[in-house]
Amino acid sequence: MVFRPELSWEFLPAEEIEAKTMRAMRNHVRHIKDDSPYYQDALKDIHPDDITDRSALERLPFTDKNTLSTQTERFIGVTQQKLVETVVTSGSTGKPITYCLTASDLDRLAYNEALCFYSAGVTEKDRAQIFVSLDRLFIAGIAYYRGLTTLGANTSRIGVLPLEMQKHYLQLLQPTVIVGVPSFLKKLAIELNKCGFDTRNSTITRLFCIGESIRDEKMELNATGRILEEMYRAQVFSTYGATELAVAYCECTAQCGGHAHPELIYTEVVDEAGKPVPDGTPGELVATPLGVEGMPLLRYKTGDITFKISDQCACGRNAARIGPILARKSQMIKIRGTTIYPLTITNILDEFDEINDYLVEIESQAPTSDNVTVHAAVSPDVVTAITQKLHAGTRVHIPVLVSNETTVQSLRGAGRKKLRVLDRRAGTAANPTGPSTTQV
Q: Does domain 328-438 have CATH number 3.30.300.30?
A: yes
Query: pLDDT tens digit string along 84-143?
Result: 999 998 765 567 899 999 999 999 999 999 999 999 999 999 999 999 988 888 899 999
CATH no. for 1-325: 3.40.50.12780
User: Residue 267's closest CA among 313, 211, 327, 322?
Assistant: 322
Quote the CA–CA distance of 268 and 54 in Å, as a whole number: 10
Q: How many CA atoms lie within 13 A of 337 on its CB side?
A: 0
Q: Count of CB atoms within 10 A of residue 127's CB?
A: 16
Q: Report the alpha-carbon angle 334-270-428, nearest 5.
A: 40
Q: What is the pTM of this model?
A: 0.85
Quote the CA–CA distance of 179 and 159 in Å, as a whole number: 10
CA dihedral 34, 37, 39, 43 (to 10 degrees): 70
User: Residue 223's closest CA among 345, 323, 350?
Assistant: 350
**pLDDT tens track of the chain, all 440 residues?**
789 998 899 999 999 999 999 999 999 999 999 999 999 999 999 999 999 999 999 999 999 999 999 999 999 999 999 999 999 987 655 678 999 999 999 999 999 999 999 999 999 999 999 999 888 888 999 999 999 999 999 999 999 999 999 999 999 999 999 999 998 999 999 999 999 999 999 999 999 999 888 998 899 999 999 999 999 999 999 999 999 999 999 999 999 999 999 999 999 999 999 999 999 999 999 999 999 999 999 999 999 999 999 999 999 999 999 999 988 888 788 887 788 888 889 989 999 989 999 999 999 876 678 999 999 999 999 999 999 999 998 989 999 999 999 999 999 887 666 788 998 886 554 343 333 333 33
| Sequence spans of domains, the chain | 1-325, 328-438
Which residues, 6+ apart, have CB-to-CB distance to 194 below 8 Å? none
